Amino acid sequence: MIDFRVLKESPKSRARLGILKTPHGEIETPALVGVATQATVKTLTSEEAREAKLRLLICNTYHLHLRPGEKIVKANGGLHKFMNWHSGLMTDSGGFQVFSLGFGRDFGLSKVSKSGLKETLEEGSQPKSLKITDDGVFFKSHLDGREMFLGPKESIKIQEDLGADIILAFDECPPPIANREYVLKSLERTHRWAKECLRVKKSKQALYGIVQGSRFKDLRKESARFIDSLGFDGYAIGGEFGSDKSSMVKMLETVNAELDSSKPRHLLGIGYLEDIPKIVKSGVDTFDCTAPTHYGRRGITFVSSGKLDLNKAIFLKDRKPIDRNCGCPVCGNYSRSYLSHLIRAKEISGLKLLTVHNLFFFNTLIENIRKEIKKGKF
């Protein structure tokens, strides 16, 4: 089980400072959750993930079920032992893959709305390589094409075998091009599945319910109320919120206002550097995002003034650290010049070094936000 304490609520916003106690240590919130889909933060060892100030990771049910399979993980004593990660762990339910391997793949979409997208996807539409039913989803494995069924029961069972501290209800992440009817139907399913997840869970793991509703305020509100009424240990907020950032923040405030303030709230898959202050101010406690790791592997690194693309030849002549004010081991020891060389030469150590810096940089920003909340200034 987990225990969540709100230590301080901001007088200036909905931001809150908290402590999330898990059987594997305490996490100060607000916190970034490191994405470790395949039981690793890509390019890092678990020790390095800790050095990058991560205290909570999220692994993935769909991916780990296909490879290596939850039985292997269980035989290794569960995910914590398997990956030698002795801090907090969550597992995502596979609900995101309903989108990313379904309509996301079909239309080349990201889950976040882009302006200009049309709501063309109607209720009843099915993606090419999976089939969404009222009981769950038939996937075609992206690895070998074999059929695999994941529903609330299956997802929870797998997540129990994986053994993370926090597990998530199985949901459907609706695509940003879905029309209102599609979202409505999808939401009904997600809600039904939420109840089913609670019903079938036998373990003592904390289970978060997932709020959906896409960019429709009334549906988001309804979803938050419904999920709140079921008695989950915490909440996750999924899907997208409309094409501009201000609508995202308003939506998050709307949702958070409906949720039990004594329970933790996790925002799924959102967390660009510039988003972080806003989402914290909306009352989110934890959030995960692939940006720091993903961008790092592309040679893009974060600094106070924005981003640097170390693929660009200009950085070969730049002997400064990535960020002068960063206290990470990479900035302490390596120049932009060297890192740019590694990235351009496609040396794998470059990917690791940028991943470490990016995560450390994000986490330092959040650490500072926590200090500000503590001082009542945020």
User: Does the protein bind RNA through residue 173 (CB under 7 A)?
Assistant: yes
User: Does the protein bind RNA through residue 224 (CB under 7 A)?
Assistant: no
Instruction: Name which of 11 and 313 has its Cβ closer to RNA.
Output: 313
| Residues 6 or more apart in contact with residue 34 via CB below 8 angstroms | 41, 49, 52, 54, 56, 57, 58, 288, 293, 359
**Do 166 and 205 form a contact (C-beta atoms < 8 A)?**
yes
Radius of gyration (C-alpha) of the chain in whole angstroms: 20
User: Does the protein bind RNA through residue 100 (CB under 7 A)?
Assistant: yes
Minimum CB distance to RNA, residue 264 (Å): 15
- The sheet that has 25-29: what strands, in order across it? 3-9, 16-22, 25-29
Name which of 176, 219, 220, 167 is nearest 198 in CA terms: 167
The one segment of 97-105, 195-203, 226-234, 257-265 that binds RNA by CB under 7 A: 97-105
Q: How far apart are CA 340 and CA 204, in angstroms?
A: 47
Active-site hit among 161, 171, 285, 288: 288
User: Does the protein bind RNA through residue 37 (CB under 7 A)?
Assistant: yes
Name which of 291, 294, 233 is nearest 264 in CA terms: 233
Dihedral sign for Cα atoms in the order 354, 356, 362, 364? negative
Instruction: Name which of 22 and 340 has its Cβ closer to RNA.
Output: 340
Minimum CB distance to RNA, residue 233 (Å): 15
Cβ neighbour number for residue 252 with a 10 Å cutoff:
25
Which one of residues 295, 361, 362, 378 is an interface residue with RNA (CB under 7 A)? 295
Instruction: Name which of 111 and 215 has its Cβ closer to RNA.
Output: 111
Q: How far apart are CA 77 and CA 69, in angstroms?
A: 13
Active-site hit among 92, 165, 285, 323: 92
Name which of 301, 323, 321 is nearest 312 in CA terms: 301
**Do 365 and 279 form a contact (C-beta atoms < 8 A)?**
no
For the question of residue 165 being annotated catalytic, the response is no
User: Does the protein bind RNA through residue 64 (CB under 7 A)?
Assistant: no
Cβ neighbour number for residue 212 with a 10 Å cutoff:
29
User: Does the protein bind RNA through residue 272 (CB under 7 A)?
Assistant: yes
User: Does the protein bind RNA through residue 341 (CB under 7 A)?
Assistant: no
User: Does the protein bind RNA through residue 282 (CB under 7 A)?
Assistant: no
User: Does the protein bind RNA through residue 352 (CB under 7 A)?
Assistant: no
For the question of residue 106 being annotated catalytic, the response is no
User: Does the protein bind RNA through residue 311 (CB under 7 A)?
Assistant: yes
According to DSSP, the residues that pair with 56 across neighbouring strands are 88
Which one of residues 53, 55, 111, 185 is an interface residue with RNA (CB under 7 A)? 111
User: Does the protein bind RNA through residue 193 (CB under 7 A)?
Assistant: no
User: Does the protein bind RNA through residue 35 (CB under 7 A)?
Assistant: yes
Token pair recorded at residue 351: 């990917």
User: Does the protein bind RNA through residue 346 (CB under 7 A)?
Assistant: yes
Instruction: Give contact residues for RNA (rule: CB under 7 A).
Output: 35, 37, 41-42, 58, 60, 63, 92-93, 95-97, 99-101, 105, 110-112, 114, 142, 168, 171, 173, 210, 212, 236, 238-239, 268-272, 275, 288-291, 293-295, 297-298, 300, 309, 311-314, 344, 346, 348, 351
Active site residues: 92, 288
